[in-house]
Structure 1
Amino acid sequence: MNIGCANCRTTMNFYETGYLFLYHAQCSDKPFKEAVQRDDNTYVLPYHDIDSLSGMLEAAGHKLIEQGWTCSISDSDKPGEYHSAGDFLNKMKYRDMIELIQEGEFVSYLQPIMELGKYELFAYESLLRSADPSRRINPGELFKAAELTGFHSMLDQRARKTAIESRVGNIEKGVKSFINFLPSTIYNPEYCLKHTFHIVDKYGVNPEDLVFEVVETEKIADISHLKSVLEVYKREGMKVALDDVGSGFATIEMLSLLQPDIVKIDRSYISGCDRNPDKQQFLRTVIHTAGELGISVLAEGIERKEELAFCKEIGVNYGQGYLIGKPALVPEKPLISAG
């Protein structure tokens, strides 16, 4: 089985009461005074409150990591899977988010994207949220926790699934969906994306209505891998976009190599662009570079009419931001119209 598929099935159970197991092949130091030694190097510590256990582990974390302990948690007197102390401590620290990734329901909030030439609706970007109103999440923090704990592949897959499902009954055919994804979670695109393509077929979604958007572009080191992922999406009839484009990716060589359909310019370049000559020069350079390659340009974070007017004037194809529309569970039409 491909390693990426295995990572998507990573699991971790947390028990309100149970047993903590600690193992070290060489260290003879007792990790906790209450722990009971079972054999030469294994210790078990019963606990009755997982929050208290987590606090105790956090306090002893440096020593456990430094000495090279491995840890396991179980609701019986037999240990489960062992993890390195550092990995285990991260999982305990972010257990609420891990449980949400594993068991919680997600929804997509939809933010409109407008075609600037006609001031018409072009697409919605799908933004991940918890379906449970009592479990409000910051998507950035959720993905950070997932990366630290090894659950980023599972979360990324669930986010793609949720985004595709959000079209059903909400978005008309012909209106595109922008769906974020992390290339680092897709180890082998031929295998790792089968689940996503199955969801597309299941709901009868036209692949041409989907735009898969690479996020955290500036952190991507393996360009060849990213190219292979994008090629698989495009082979299936879908569009691809690069997010948060900055000077590092706004080069003819890079865009020519990756051949995205759309580049999204980060909001930091859009805010105040109507009155900042440096930002204006940058935007003109990106538009020129993209234009030579037949790539469309989308401006993110438009919040003022002056920014919108300037972007349209210099040839930006699409716009997104609070001036145009905020994310909503039920998709809304753009607040700006041709009239």
Structure 2
Amino acid sequence: MDFPEQIKQQSCMDCLSGQSLGFEIRMAFQPIIDWSSQDIVGYEALVRGPEGQGAGWVFEQINDNNKYYFDQACRVKAIETASKLGLKKLLSINFLPNAVYNPETCIRATIEAGDMFGFDITQIMFEVTEGEQITDQAKLKRIFESYAKRGFITAIDDFGSGYAGLAWLTSLRPAVLKLDMGLIRDIDKDTVKQAVLKGILTVCCELKTRVLAEGVETKAELDYLAEAGIDWFQGYYFAKPQLEKLLSHSEIQVWR
């Protein structure tokens, strides 16, 4: 896609205004739990509509004409909101690789937002979903390499749900791999899923990639996954996403 010059010159304030996107976005936050240390290590920023509508509503408004603006606006809004809420831990942000025309240019507004709102950009984790069909996997690898050089944490989200597989994992070599909730659901009693998990953990150990299990909903799932060696978790078992709020340790369901 050929991006016009006005897009290439877009600043983080342009992203915050929502004018280019056509509607305002807001952010909800879900805690990322380190079960081994019994602590919150960070939060994932999840996009919401102007009246708190879910991500499904938001993505219905996205098309090829505003995809780039949306990707940039999500990054900047997440940083702004997290900073205003006083976040000093990991901030995980989803990005759309097909909306990135040049990694170095597209990251400019993110860095500008970090400077403007006083947020340490080395605490930012960029997630790309394995469920999105990537038109240019070599380009995605360049994006990951560029982001890692900048000090960002790289992650594959929803692993096991989409188009890629272990070959994709070994090519991108992310710092973090987030397991799809479809794999997590009832894994404590599904021997096939357990075998798949064992293979993934073996590869991640060789790559020194941290594994995060998301979508955890039951104690049985948590117990099995923790016994398997996973220590980072997300899911309703701990907490649902909260609009423009960072849940504290005492507000996490299992620690009440």
Instruction: Output the TM-score relative to the length of structure 1.
Output: 0.66
- Work out whether 1:157 is the aligned partner of 2:157: no
Output the amino acid matched with 1:168. Answer: S
Return the alpha-carbon distance in structure 2 between the equivalents of residues 335 and 101 of structure 1: 39
Change beyond 3 A, Cα 1:9–1:139: farther
Q: Deviation at 1:201?
A: 1.7
Q: Which residue of 2 aligns with 1:20?
A: none
**Partner SS for 1:153:** helix
- Give 1:312's match in structure 2, choosing from 226, 230, 241: 226
CA contact (8 A) 1:181 1:213 kept: yes
Distance in 2 separating the partners of 1:321 and 1:105 = 26
Structure 1: gaps spanning 5 or more residues: 11-98
Match of 1:169 in 2: 84
Shift of 1:138: 3.3
Q: Counterpart in 1 of 2:61?
A: 145
Q: Deviations over 1:153-192 (max 9, x none)?
A: 111111111111122132442x101101000000111212
Give the alignment of 1:82-97 within 5 angstroms.
Answer: none
Q: Does 1:126 align with 2:41?
A: no
Cα 1:126–1:258 change in 2 (3 A) is same
Report the identity percentage.
31
What is the one-letter code of the residue matched to 1:161? V
Determine the structure 2 residue equivalent to 1:246: 160
Q: Would you say the 8 A contact 1:5–1:192 is kept in 2?
A: no
For 1:104 and 1:268, locate their aligned partners in 2 and report how far apart those are by CA, in whole Å: 32
Q: Which residue of 1 aligns with 2:141?
A: 227
Alignment check: 8 A CA contact 2:130 2:159 kept: no
Q: Are the counterparts in 2 of residues 8 and 157 from structure 1 also a CA contact under 8 Å?
A: no
CA RMSD of aligned residues (A): 2.4
Pick aligned residue for 2:21 from 89, 102, 110: 102
- Hey, what does 2:173 align to over in structure 1? 259
Cα gap change, 1:208 to 1:336, in 2 (>3 Å): farther
Q: CA deviation at 1:193?
A: 1.7
1:297 to partner: Cα distance: 0.5
TM-score, length of structure 2 as denominator length: 0.86
Cα distance in 2 for residues equivalent to 1:269 and 1:255: 16
Counterpart amino acid of residue 235 in structure 2? G
Q: Give the partner amino acid of 1:158.
A: A
Distance 1:197 1:4, change over 3 A: farther
Give the distance between the partners of 1:176 and 1:240, measured in 2 at CA.
12
Alignment check: 8 A CA contact 2:114 2:121 kept:
yes
